[in-house]
């Protein structure tokens, strides 16, 4: 879809802006694009969101990600109350706040073909996201000392939480394209590459063990019946114990059907 055929809408002069809207959508919106990224937290209503030609049927608490320049529109049932929180986010803000290890625009860059998608977090992650979103909105509305600093901190926390949700499922791109849940073999191959790369960068064995345990805080969410091997991973005192626990998990724990965020 070519931008020249559609209207550019909205403006953003600050790092980010938040809008909390609750009303019926009077008419079908036209396709348009923005010069910034957009997150839409869909809280109530019924309808679809179309992004770059792909139609997503929305459910309450879905998160729509629209990358800079993506052509999109909402198709909302006008008989229903349409409640959403919208965040405009500056690409430059994401660039300057990112680090070598943590790219804050990760959710807007996946998958590789650059399309935008809808996230559907499971209940635990959804509750945490909504708490952070509520805290961000409260600071955006506040005039108390330091509200701007706290709002920035909450914004960064929200982006990190979305990024960690992506890290929990290394097979997301394939899942998005085919609908197939990633296999244990894909997770194991991802882990082995991560382990080798981390070992090359962190020669200290104790520090390496700590870093890999941190990775399982996110990877572990994608496996069913994994409490015992995950406990072994957390309690491992050396790399041999860690590797044994990881082998046990991959051998005995199936990948959850709802692994990851995207639909």
Tell me how far apart the alpha carbons of residues 73 and 167 are, in angstroms, rounded to a whole number: 28
Q: What is the pLDDT of residue 92?
A: 97
- Asked if residues 133 and 162 have their Cβ atoms less than 8 Å apart, the reply is no
Q: Give the tens place of pLDDT for each residue, 248-261.
A: 999 999 988 765 55
Q: If you search the block for the tokens 């910034």, which residue do you land on?
A: 36
CB atoms near residue 50 (< 10 Å): 15
Mean pLDDT of the region 35-43 = 96
- Residue 259 or residue 139, greater confidence: 139
User: How far apart, in whole angstroms, are the C-alpha atoms of residue 192 and residue 243?
Assistant: 10
- β-strand pairing of 63-66 with 118-119: antiparallel
What the block records as the tokens of 238 is 């050396």
* pLDDT per position as a tens digit, 220-230: 878 889 999 99
Which whole number is the average pLDDT over 190-198?
A: 88
Question: What does the DSSP assignment read for 181-211?
Answer: PPPHHHHHHHHHHHHHHHHHH---HHHHHHH
How far is it, in rounded angstroms, from Cα 232 to Cα 230? 5
List the single range of 12-26, 148-162, 164-178, 248-262 with lowest mean pLDDT: 164-178
Helix (H), strand (E) at residue 135: helix 123-141
Tell me, yes or no, if the pTM score tops 0.75.
no
Within 13 A of 199's CA, how many CA atoms are on the CB side? 8
What is the average pLDDT across 95-116? 72
Nearest of 124, 4, 23, 1 to residue 67 by alpha carbon:
1
Q: What are phi and psi of 16, to 5 degrees?
A: -160, 160
Residues pairing with 32 in the sheet: 7, 72
DSSP states of 62-86:
-EEEE-TT--EEEEE-TTS-EEEEE
Return phi, psi of residue 212, to 5°: -70, -35
Token pair 């938040």 in the structure block, residue: 18
Cα angle vertex 43, ends 40, 45, to 5°? 105
Q: Tell me the mean pLDDT in the region 107-112.
A: 62
Q: Percent helix, strand and coil across the chain, each rounded to 5?
A: 45, 20, 35
């Amino acid at each position: 879809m070519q931008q020249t055929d559609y209207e550019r809408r909205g403006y953003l002069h600050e790092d980010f802006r938040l809008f909390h809207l609750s009303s019926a959508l009077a008419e079908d919106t036209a396709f348009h694009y923005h010069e910034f990224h957009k997150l839409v937290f869909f809280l109530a209503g019924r309808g679809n969101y179309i992004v770059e030609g792909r139609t997503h049927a929305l459910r309450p608490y879905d998160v729509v990600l629209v990358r800079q320049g993506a052509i999109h529109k909402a198709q909302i049932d006008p008989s229903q109350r349409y409640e959403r929180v919208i965040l405009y986010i500056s690409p430059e803000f994401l660039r300057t706040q990112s680090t070598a290890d943590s790219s804050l625009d990760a959710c807007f860059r996946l998958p590789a073909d650059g399309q935008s998608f809808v996230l559907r977090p499971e209940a635990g992650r959804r509750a945490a996201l909504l708490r952070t979103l509520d805290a961000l909105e409260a600071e955006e509305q506040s005039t108390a000392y330091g509200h701007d600093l706290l709002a920035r901190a909450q914004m960064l926390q929200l982006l990190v939480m979305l990024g960690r949700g992506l890290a929990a499922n290394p097979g997301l791109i394939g899942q998005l394209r085919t609908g197939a849940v990633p296999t244990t073999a894909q997770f194991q191959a991802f882990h082995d590459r991560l382990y080798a790369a981390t070992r090359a960068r962190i020669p200290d064995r104790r520090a390496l063990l700590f870093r890999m345990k941190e990775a399982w805080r996110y990877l572990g969410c994608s496996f069913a019946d994994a409490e015992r091997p995950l406990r072994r991973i957390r309690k491992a005192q050396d790399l041999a114990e860690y590797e044994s626990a990881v082998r046990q998990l991959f051998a005995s724990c199936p990948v959850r059907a709802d692994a990851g965020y995207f639909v």
